[in-house]
Amino acid sequence: MKMNSASQSRMPTSRIVVAALVCWVGILLAAVGFAAGKSNGIGNSAADSTGTPVLLPAHGWSIVPSPNNGTAATNELYATTCAAVNDCWAVGYWNASTGIQTLTEHWDCTVWTIVQSPNSVGNNILQGVTCVSSSDCWAVGNADDPDVHQRTLVEHWDGNRWRVIPSPNRGLSSPPIDVLIGVTCQSASQCWAVGANDDVNGVGQTLIERWDGNAWTIVDSPNVYLSDSLYAVSCPSLTECWAVGDSAVNFNVQTLVEKWDGTAWSIVASPDTGTFDTLHDVSCTSESNCMAVGYSGASLADQTLVERWDGTSWTIVPSANTNPARQNILYGVTCLSPSKCWAAGYYVNHLNVYQTLIERWDGTSWKIAPSPNSSPGEENLLNGITCVSASECWSVGYYAPEGIPPQTLIEEYAALTGD
Which residues touch 48 (CB under 8 Å, ≥6 apart)?
A: 322, 323, 349, 350
CA pair distance 70, 359, nearest whole angstrom: 32
DSSP, res 276: B
DSSP, res 44: S
The radius of gyration computed from the CA coordinates of the chain, to the nearest angstrom, equals 20
Residues of the chain by 3-state class (helix, strand, coil), percent to 5: 5, 55, 40
- Is domain 3-414 annotated with CATH 3.40.50.720? no
Q: Which of 43, 41, 103, 26 is nearest to 70 (CA)?
A: 103
Q: pLDDT tens digits, the chain, 419 residues: what are they?
A: 333 333 333 333 344 444 444 565 454 444 333 233 333 332 333 333 333 333 344 448 999 999 999 878 999 999 999 999 999 999 999 998 888 999 999 999 999 999 999 998 889 999 999 999 999 999 999 999 777 789 999 999 999 999 999 999 998 888 899 999 999 999 999 999 999 999 988 899 999 999 999 999 999 999 997 899 999 999 999 999 999 999 998 889 999 999 999 999 999 999 999 999 999 999 999 999 999 999 999 889 999 999 999 999 999 999 999 999 999 999 999 999 999 999 999 999 999 999 999 999 999 999 999 999 999 999 999 999 999 999 999 999 999 988 889 999 999 998 855 45
Residue type, 34: F
Render pLDDT for 222-272 as a digit per residue (tens, 0 to 9): 999 789 999 999 999 999 999 999 999 888 999 999 999 999 999 999 999
Q: Which residues partner with 348 through β-bridges?
A: 354
SS3 of residue 97 by DSSP: coil
pLDDT for the residue 320? 98
Give the start-to-end residue ranges of the domains of the chain: 3-414
pLDDT for the residue 181? 98
Sign of the torsion angle spanned by Cα atoms 278, 179, 137, 214: positive
Contact 260, 237 (CB under 8 A): no
pLDDT for the residue 151? 95
Cβ neighbour number for residue 313 with a 10 Å cutoff:
12
Helix and strand totals (H; E) in the chain: 1, 31
CA pair distance 37, 77, nearest whole angstrom: 20
Q: What φ, ψ does residue 112 adopt, rounded to 5°?
A: -90, 135
Q: Which residues partner with 156 through β-bridges?
A: 138, 163
Cα dihedral 17/18/22/27 (nearest 10) = 0
Residue type, 282: V
Pairing of strands 112-115, 3-4: antiparallel
SS3 of residue 23 by DSSP: helix
pLDDT for the residue 417? 54
Contact 383, 343 (CB under 8 A): no
DSSP letters, 323-389, are -TTS-EEEEEEEEEETTEEEEEEEEE-TTS-EEEEEEEE-SS-EEEE----S-TTSEEEEEEEEEEE
DSSP, res 52: P
pLDDT for the residue 12? 39
- 37 to 84, 181, 288: CA distances (angstroms): 9, 21, 18
Q: Which of 107, 128, 124 is nearest to 1 (CA)?
A: 107
DSSP, res 9: P
Q: Which of 187, 205, 351, 215 is nearest to 265 (CA)?
A: 205
pLDDT for the residue 120? 87
pLDDT for the residue 419? 57
Element (H, E) at 124: strand 123-133
